[in-house]
Amino acid sequence: MDYSTSILESLGEGIAAFDVDRRALMANAYLKDLMGWARVSVVGQVPDTLFAQRPQILSILKEGFEQKRLVNHVDVIDHRADGGLQHLSVSTSFLSVENQQGLVLVIRDVSELKRMEWEMFQVEKMSALGRLAASVAHEVRNPLGAIDIQLQLLEEDLGGIEGIQQERLSRRLNIAQTEMKRLDRIVQNFLRFSRTPKLRLQPLSLNDVVQRVFELVSPEAREQEVTLSLELEQGLPQVDGDESQLGQAVLNMTVNAFQAMEGPGEVRARTWADVEVGQVCLALSDTGRGIPEAEIDRIFEFYYTTKDEGTGLGLSIAQRVLFQHGGHLEVESQEGAGTTFRFFLPISKQNGLHNE
Angstrom CA distances, 17 to 38, 272, 294, stand at 17, 41, 37
Angstrom CA distances, 113 to 75, 88, 117, 149, 200, stand at 12, 10, 6, 53, 28
Q: Is residue 129 classed exposed, middle or buried when 0-12, 13-18 and 19+ CB atoms within 10 A define those classes?
A: middle
Number of domains in the chain: 3
**352 in a domain, yes or no?**
no
Looking at the structure, tell me whether residues 89 and 163 fall in a common domain.
no
**207 in a domain, yes or no?**
yes
Task: Report pLDDT for 261.
Answer: 81
DSSP 3-state of 340? strand
Task: Report pLDDT for 165.
Answer: 77
Q: What is the DSSP letter of 301?
A: S
**355 in a domain, yes or no?**
no
CA 65 distance to own-chain centroid:
39
pLDDT surpassing 80 at residue 270: yes
pLDDT in tens, 169-225: 888 888 888 888 878 777 776 666 556 667 888 999 999 999 999 998 888 888 888
Looking at the structure, tell me whether residues 264 and 340 fall in a common domain.
yes
pLDDT band at residue 143 under the 50/70/90 scheme: confident
pLDDT band at residue 296 under the 50/70/90 scheme: low
Q: Find the domain containing 310 and state its range.
A: 202-346
CA distance 324 to 120: 11
pLDDT > 70 fraction of the chain, expressed in percent and rounded = 81
**356 in a domain, yes or no?**
no
**180: number of CA atoms within 13 Å, CB side?**
18
Q: What is the DSSP letter of 158?
A: G
CATH number of the domain that residue 293 is part of: 3.30.565.10
Looking at the structure, tell me whether residues 207 and 161 fall in a common domain.
no
Task: Report pLDDT for 5.
Answer: 67
Is residue 274 within 8 Å of 320, Cβ to Cβ?
Answer: no
Looking at the structure, tell me whether residues 339 and 239 fall in a common domain.
yes
Looking at the structure, tell me whether residues 234 and 336 fall in a common domain.
yes
pLDDT in tens, 217-239: 888 888 888 899 999 999 999 99
pLDDT surpassing 50 at residue 311: no
**351 in a domain, yes or no?**
no
Is residue 63 within 8 Å of 56, Cβ to Cβ?
Answer: no
**245 in a domain, yes or no?**
yes
CA distance 42 to 174: 76
Among residues 159, 194, 229, which one ends one of the domains?
194
Sign of the CA dihedral running 264, 224, 299, 324: negative
Looking at the structure, tell me whether residues 65 and 80 fall in a common domain.
yes
CA distance 344 to 326: 9
pLDDT in tens, 30-88: 888 888 887 778 889 999 989 888 888 999 999 999 888 999 988 888 876 555 678 89
Q: What is the DSSP letter of 244?
A: H
**334 in a domain, yes or no?**
yes
Among residues 53, 82, 109, which one ends one of the domains?
109
pLDDT band at residue 129 under the 50/70/90 scheme: low
pLDDT band at residue 356 under the 50/70/90 scheme: very low
CA distance 35 to 107: 10
pLDDT band at residue 355 under the 50/70/90 scheme: very low
Looking at the structure, tell me whether residues 246 and 126 fall in a common domain.
no
CA distance 234 to 237: 9
Torsion of CA 333, 328, 305, 260, to 10 degrees: 40
pLDDT band at residue 294 under the 50/70/90 scheme: low
Looking at the structure, tell me whether residues 212 and 331 fall in a common domain.
yes
**353 in a domain, yes or no?**
no
CATH number of the domain that residue 168 is part of: 1.10.287
Looking at the structure, tell me whether residues 210 and 341 fall in a common domain.
yes
Q: Which of 13-22, 150-159, 212-221 comes out lowest in average pLDDT? A: 150-159
Is residue 354 within 8 Å of 237, Cβ to Cβ?
Answer: yes
Taking all residues of the chain, what is their mean pLDDT, rounded to a whole number? 81
Among residues 78, 109, 140, which one ends one of the domains?
109
Looking at the structure, tell me whether residues 181 and 227 fall in a common domain.
no
Looking at the structure, tell me whether residues 38 and 143 fall in a common domain.
no
Q: Which amino acid is at 223?
A: E
CATH number of the domain that residue 25 is part of: 3.30.450.20
Looking at the structure, tell me whether residues 94 and 44 fall in a common domain.
yes
